[in-house]
Amino acid sequence: MKKIVVTMIVIAVLFGALVGCSDAAVASQNLSRAADQFEIFRRVVFYNGITDQYMLLVEGYCSITVDAADGQLELTVKTDRGQFLKHYLGLSDNVTYFVEQLEPASVSDARYRVVFKPIAIIPDIEIAD
C-alpha cells in the first residue's frame, strides 16, 4: 500500500513539473541561467521617459536582478580581466530600462540546465582587525 501511495505521489510531482513546459519556457530559463553565469553579452540602457535621453548604457557580460522592494535594478558585470563591477540603478515612473542580448547563444529547448558549483559551498573566510 505504501509503495502505491509513494509511486502515485512521484508520478503526480513529475506530471506537475512537466505541465506547461513549452520549448520557449525551457530555452528562456536556460538563457537566463547562462546570463547569470556571465555567458551572455548584453546591452542595458537606462532611459528617461521625460527628457527622451539615455542616462546610462552598459555593454558586457551582465547578470541582472530586479529588486522591486527597493525600486532598483542590480547589475553585476564581468570585465575582460575577470573582475566584477556592481551597479545599483534606481527605477522611477519616468526612468525605465531595456536589455538587449547582442549575440546569439546555443541553449537547449528540451532540457533544463542545472549549474552546481561545489566550490561555492566552501566560504572564503577573512579575519578583520
Q: Domain ranges in the chain?
A: 2-102
Mean of all residue pLDDT scores within the chain: 86
pTM: 0.72
pLDDT score for 121: 86
pLDDT tens-place string over residues 80-103? 899 999 999 988 888 889 999 999
Q: What is the DSSP track for the chain?
A: -HHHHHHHHHHHHHHHHHTT--HHHHHHHHHHHHHHTT-SEEEEEEEETTTTEEEEEEEEEEEEEEETTTTEEEEEEE-TTS-EEEEEEE--SSEEEEEEE-S-----SSS------GGGGSPP-----
What per-residue confidence (pLDDT) applies to 87? Answer: 92
Position 15 scores a pLDDT of 57
